[in-house]
Structure 1
Amino acid sequence: MSTDLPSPNAAASDVVLLAQLLAVAERIAHQGDMQAVPELLDMVSEHPESPTLAALAEAFAKLVVQHEVKEFELQCTIDHLQRTKQELELANYDPLTGLANRAIARDRLQQGMEQSRRSNLPLAVFYMDLDRFKWVNDNMGHAAGDELLRQVSQRLRDAVRAVDTVARLEGDEFLCILPDMLTVADAQALAGRLVYNLAQPFALAAGIASIGTSIGIALFPDHADHVDGLIACADAALYQAKNAGRNGWRLYEQPGT
């Protein structure tokens, strides 16, 4: 900040006062001490007759404006980043459960398949559907249905690894993407645990809800070598599980085998 300093002929009292005022201004300018602003304004208002103070007041006004502009620009940047974050979350995550949505699930599945090619370990996809969810929604209310979906989502998160992805596709349909499974038996064991975990009662605000889940399992590269094919195989296995009596899991089987 540039300002005109008082001339050498300024009164000595002005010089002393100016030094005091500049000390306060320095706290504001360099330390960001905006609490000192009222102090400086009071000092200026107490000496309206001083030309030195008039020059200082003008310079200080510029300083305050610059500070406010910088604060405004910073807040605009923060607001923009927050809006961008919210837009990304809406684009990639289910707003009800906080799980990945279909779009990001497909992206994670593609990444997982590429990783599986490098590691030479199988990738498993679980296509899941809740049993008796419609009964809860119809008889206990939509709020209970939403609460149930959130609790189901949390149980799924708790059951899988940090590298795995749990996604909500729509309604009561979920997808689990499990890269680098050591064996097929590991995937089957996890499916069994999920079936058991989701069969335990859920304590909802509207009462206790008991449901189940059916899971279809497809493996990369055994059952398909692309995203759509792998999801379709897991979906077909899900219906095989439902046809077998629900509340269980099935590994995909080729038609006619």
Structure 2
Amino acid sequence: MTAERTTARRGGPGSTRRFLRDLAVIVVVALLASFLIRTFLVRSFFIPSASMEPTLLGEPGHHDRILVDELVPRLVPIRRGDVVVFTDPGGWLGGEQTASATPSTPVAEAADALLSLVGLSTRDSDDHLVKRVIGLPGDHVACCDPLGRVTVDGAPLDEPYTRLPAGTRLESRVPFDVVVRPGDLWVMGDNRWDSADSRYHQGSAEHGGVPTRDVVGRASVVSWPVDRWRWIDDYPATFAGVPSSSR
């Protein structure tokens, strides 16, 4: 009896095999969960330029990182005011001064490789842009009205999230008056006088629009640095005055 108790306390070949089996199951489940999160739920991106300030910082040495909800637009529709991440529709990245998201040291490379397992790497940020959705397919977007505001289907927008140069009230120095094509979005940076967005690509094949199919997801949270943690507001009150018939 004493020998049996000693063997039970110490464990034997069977208990070792069970431990290794359980460990393998845990690792497989963790990797599968990470893959599903990475593929279907959330990704992390690096803000490469100042075009979305003050909402998202992209100045040298002050680059926010954001978490992006990939259920938008796969399962959840895009709304006016959403801040979205999208792949370059063609030639947009050449119009902005951007910083690279590629880690520059071996330690940073190793950390980024680990983060990539759970969808929190920013490795592919260099190929993406982030802007705010102003117009949906079929919307008539224009600027500027007599008070310098953007209008959507004739409704003026009061946009508390934008940055304008001192001494001006114009929400855009580039005039525009377009109807957003089916399947496209009209997007603008919050830093209105320093953003190469839909306004600057009106001569493209999409006439400035971003195809919805190019949208990766909606930016929902500033995740880094710690003192910048916050939800990213879509300002529904700003677009509440847009006629319901156009929603």
Q: Shared topology, TM-score over 0.5?
A: no
RCO greater where, 1 or 2, for CA within 8 Å and sep 6 or more?
A: 2
User: As a proportion of its length, which structure holds more helix?
Assistant: 1
Q: TM-score, normalised by structure 2?
A: 0.31
Q: TM-score, normalised by structure 1?
A: 0.30
Q: Rg bigger for which structure?
A: 1
